[in-house]
């Protein structure tokens, strides 16, 4: 399906949804690229369905493949809602960039100024964890809280989705903050990259504190209302929940449960349709938007050519400076790529999750990129 997107920029009304080509042949080429690669993708082992979207110079192309439930013949569509996992962090990063520009926080803030109680443990040899450290995964905080979640997805057993759900059911924000006060930091913050969902959830707490609004309200104001991303949120209404996908873990024949997200959801709790994802891509390609520009600033070099911005993975190669992030849950995975040099964005979402899925998503996206640039 082909669309043209137009929305309002953050500080002024700007229409930038112009067609990149009036040539029907160009449209057919892009449609063909998606069709060919999408069909190949769903033929891969254990893959059941996929939604693929491409944004190019103001035009959006979406196509859907496979079936959401094995044997039901029910393909996804533009209204299908997916858990996007850690791609949520880039949306969280956008909110943080906005807070920085509005001078509600600074990147160098000691995170403890936003916490009530004794959190002297959130420092190492006198060096405190800062907002910047949370955004770049250099805080030294563990991957997950509660600690029992750490290593769970490395087990690769069929019980993983339900074990994760059980831990979510037994956890809440109060327990998170209590656990946060007792963990130990063993490296100096701001130095070593160590991926941390814990840090991203702490960012959610800080955002709610400085804005005195829930994350749900902030998402509605900044995305659902402002950019017509109506299906983008953490807590869905009753109609939206009926459109929310459940997927498959590994080679399971049974649908995995959706995540509960008992914390702030800023690490991986956001849900979106592929069309909302395309609106998000359009926003990320708006070089006149000061919040986008701030959120794309490289804050830490992991290893050349990879840097970290406001949760974005910043990559530099022959395609210029690009931004990407992978996301996954027990039943879905997706990869999002932004290529400003070509005014291009690519998103692939599937209702299957396993250790081989990220590489398959990446390879498919890179193949489409090469074909799009060639054409």
Per-residue pLDDT of the chain (375 residues; tens, 9 = 90+): 666 554 433 322 222 233 333 467 778 999 999 999 999 999 999 999 999 999 999 999 999 999 999 999 999 999 999 999 999 999 999 999 999 999 999 999 999 999 999 999 999 999 999 999 999 999 999 999 999 999 999 999 999 999 999 999 999 999 999 999 999 999 999 999 999 999 999 999 999 999 999 999 999 999 999 999 999 999 999 999 999 999 999 999 999 999 999 999 999 999 999 999 999 999 999 999 999 999 999 999 999 999 999 999 999 999 999 999 999 999 999 999 999 999 999 999 999 999 999 999 999 999 999 999 997
Tokens of 289: 């938007």
Closest CA to 83 of 252, 254, 302, 333: 333
Q: What pLDDT is attached to residue 5?
A: 56
Q: CA angle, corner 291, sides to 89 and 137, nearest 5?
A: 30
CA distance 347 to 369: 11
pTM listed for this prediction: 0.94
Beta strands in the chain (DSSP E): 2-4, 49-56, 59-66, 82-83, 123-124, 127-128, 248-249, 271-272, 300-303, 306-308, 313-317, 320-328, 333-339, 344-350, 352-353
Q: What is the assigned CATH class of domain 70-340?
A: alpha beta
DSSP three-state, residue 204: helix
pLDDT of res. 178: 98
Residue 252: predicted pLDDT: 96
SS3 content of the chain, % helix, strand, coil (to 5): 35, 20, 45
Q: Which of 139, 117, 141, 142 is nearest to 130 (CA)?
A: 139
Positive or negative CA dihedral for 34, 370, 336, 283? negative
Q: CA nearest 273: which of 248, 239, 249, 240?
A: 240
Distance CA 18, CA 47 (A): 35
The C-alpha atoms of residue 255 and residue 331 are separated, in whole angstroms, by: 7
Contact 193, 204 (CB under 8 A): no
């Amino acid at each position: 399906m082909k669309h043209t997107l137009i929305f309002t920029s953050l500080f002024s009304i700007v229409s930038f949804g112009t067609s990149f080509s009036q040539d029907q042949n160009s449209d057919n080429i892009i449609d063909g690229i998606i069709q060919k690669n999408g069909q190949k993708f769903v033929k891969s082992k254990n893959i059941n369905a996929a939604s693929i979207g491409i944004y190019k110079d103001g035009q959006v192309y979406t196509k859907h493949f496979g079936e959401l439930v094995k044997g039901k013949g029910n393909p996804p569509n533009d209204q299908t809602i997916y858990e996007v996992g850690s791609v949520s962090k880039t949306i969280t990063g956008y909110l943080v960039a906005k807070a920085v520009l509005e001078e509600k926080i600074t990147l160098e803030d000691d995170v403890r100024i936003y916490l009530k109680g004794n959190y002297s443990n959130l420092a190492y040899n006198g060096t405190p964890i800062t907002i910047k450290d949370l955004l770049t995964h250099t805080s030294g905080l563990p991957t997950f809280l509660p600690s029992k979640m750490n290593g769970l997805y490395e087990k690769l057993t069929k019980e993983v989705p339900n074990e994760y759900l059980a831990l979510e059911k037994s956890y809440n924000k109060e327990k998170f903050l209590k656990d946060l006060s007792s963990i130990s930091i063993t490296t100096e913050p701001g130095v070593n990259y160590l991926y941390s969902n814990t840090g991203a959830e702490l960012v959610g707490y800080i955002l709610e504190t400085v804005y005195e609004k829930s994350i749900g309200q902030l998402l509605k104001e900044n995305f659902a209302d402002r950019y017509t991303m109506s299906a983008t949120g953490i807590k869905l209404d009753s109609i939206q929940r009926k459109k929310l996908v459940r997927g498959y873990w590994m080679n399971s024949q049974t649908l995995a449960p959706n995540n509960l997200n008992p914390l702030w959801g800023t690490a991986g709790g956001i849900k979106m349709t592929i069309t909302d994802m395309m609106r998000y891509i359009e926003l990320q390609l708006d070089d006149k938007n000061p919040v986008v520009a701030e959120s794309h600033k490289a804050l830490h070099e992991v290893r050349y050519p990879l840097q970290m911005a406001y949760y974005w993975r910043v990559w530099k190669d022959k395609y210029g400076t690009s931004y990407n992030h992978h996301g996954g849950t027990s039943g879905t995975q997706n990869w999002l790529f932004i290529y400003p040099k070509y005014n291009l964005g690519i998103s692939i979402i599937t209702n299957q999750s396993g250790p081989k899925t990220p590489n398959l998503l990446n390879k498919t996206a890179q193949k489409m990129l090469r074909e799009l640039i060639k054409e």
